[in-house]
Amino acid sequence: MQSIPTFSLLATILSLSPKISGFMGISVGVGVWIPGNAPPPASTDNVEYIALQSFKSSISDDPNAILSSWSGPNICSYKGIFCSDPPEPLSSASLVVAIVDLNRANLAGTLTPDLSLLSHLSALHLNSNRFCGSIPLSLSNLEYLYELDLSNNLFSGPFPSSTLQIPNLIYLDLRFNSFSGQIPDELFQNPNLDAIFLNNNQFQGEIPDSLWSSSASAINLANNQLTGSIPASFGYSEPGLKEILLPNNRLTGCIPEGVGYVTGMQVLDLSFNSLTGHLPDSISCLDGIEVLNIAHNKLSGDLPEVVCDLRNLLNLTVSYNFFSGVSDDCTRLLFRNVGFDLAGNCIPGRDLQRPAPECDGTSAGGLSCLRVPGMRPAGCGGAGGDGMSGLPYFFRVSVP
Mean pLDDT value of segment 137-156: 97
Mean pLDDT value of segment 166-193: 96
Residue 275's Cβ-side half-sphere holds a number of Cα atoms within 13 Å equal to: 30
pTM: 0.83
Alpha carbons 294 and 297: distance in angstroms, whole number: 7
pLDDT of residue 236: 61
> Is the confidence at residue 14, as pLDDT, over 90?
no
Confidence of residue 304 (pLDDT cuts 50, 70, 90): confident
pLDDT of residue 336: 84
pLDDT of residue 330: 87
Of the two residues 281 and 34, the one the predictor is more confident about is 281
Collapsed DSSP state (helix, strand, coil) of residue 237: coil
Q: Which has the closest alpha carbon to 33: 77, 79, 92, 74?
A: 77
pLDDT of residue 20: 33
Tens of pLDDT along 252-295?
999 998 888 888 899 999 999 999 999 998 898 898 999 999 99
Are 115 and 51 in contact by the 8 Å Cβ rule? The answer is yes
Top mean pLDDT of 21-30, 31-40, 285-294 is at: 285-294
Mean pLDDT value of segment 83-94: 75
Candidate from 39-43, 58-62, 344-348 with smallest mean pLDDT? 39-43
Are 253 and 278 in contact by the 8 Å Cβ rule? The answer is no
CA 386 to chain centre: 25
> Is the confidence at residue 395, as pLDDT, over 50?
no
pLDDT of residue 75: 95
pLDDT > 90 in the chain, percent: 62
